[in-house]
Amino acid sequence: MPVSSFLNMRKFLLLAFLPLAPTLAQTTPPAASLGMPPARPAPPPQVLLMRVAQDGSGDYRTIQEAVNASRDLSQVTVTIQIKNGIYREKLVVPAHKTHVRLVGESALGTIITGSDHTGDAAGHNTYSSQTVLVQANDFTAENITFENAAGAVGQAVALHVDGDRATFRHCRMLGNQDTLFPAVENSRQYYQDCYIEGTTDFIFGTAVAVFDRCEIRSKRNSYIAAAATTERQAYGFVFRDCKLTADTAAHKVFLGRPWRPHSRTVYLRCELGAHILPAGWDNWRDAANEKTAFYAEYQSTGPGANPSARAKWSHQLTAKEAKRYTLANIFGGESGWVPQE
């Protein structure tokens, strides 16, 4: 066959089969018929800034609505700006709402309040009386008041924190007994330039918590800190450069007592008012706690500083020992979390 005839026949065959190509493609069965799942739609874009205002000028009227609207298991910070107002909410930041940051317009004007307490008609106890419960990791609050306004009626928690890597700056925690509950063992919490008030054991719990430049105000004769540190923890509650003040009704106050036997509480360079008792520490009516608890001070100042009269089983740290109490050493951990001072 001549070459020209062969090429003409090849061209004819190609042209004859070209119209079949779309038909073949249309007969391909869909993915679902082959047992394959349909393609998952892309998630909606994440909202990284929300505003809360009771007058309706923001995105939400309640803080809880804004928290609920934040993306689950967020890997980036979601900021919720809160206008001044009294928010009567039993707020919960659940474990799956990570990286939430609440920023109030002002600490004095942005108030989250409640009045649940042990023995009330609803049957609340210490672990359910809180006004605000933080279960999520990587939570931050700034310029907010957390209040339990139940009064002197027993345990009434204003703020209960379970999550890890929690930070509070320029916040106020108001209450009476059991105001602030840094609750669980695997939680690290940092409080900077905060005001915390209460009566009995008003800072209590098992978490590792550092308080930097905070005012700790006692409202009556009682105990400030009741740490429940476990024997697995190298640190418990650490107060650095804090100021301990008191109402006129409080003039016999202990620095702390052991809620659990291995309680650890340390005050470094704190100014202690005259309401702090010379002994400083109480063993919670159990001499055995004196062998396991670790209570210490370093360079306390003010009329309540009385190292020679302190309980014999407490400690006055040396300069070398005090140097260990850096945020990197206290918090450490695999995540290497060190909050900004």
DSSP category for residue 12: H
Residue 46 and residue 74 in contact, taking contact as beta carbons nearer than 8 Å: yes
Catalytic residue status for 282: no
What is the strand order of the sheet 166-169 is part of? 49-52, 78-82, 100-104, 140-142, 166-169, 188-192, 208-212, 237-240, 264-268, 294-298, 315-316
Which of 248, 247, 237, 312 has its CA nearest to residue 280? 312
DSSP string computed for 70-81: SPTT-SS-EEEE
What contacts 201, CB < 8 A, 6 or more positions away? 177, 178, 222, 223, 224, 225, 226, 257, 259
Query: How many C-beta atoms surround the C-beta of residue 173 within 10 A?
Result: 27
Which of 300, 289, 285 has its CA nearest to residue 240? 300
Q: Which of 162, 178, 201, 282 is catalytic?
A: 201
Q: What residues act catalytically?
A: 201
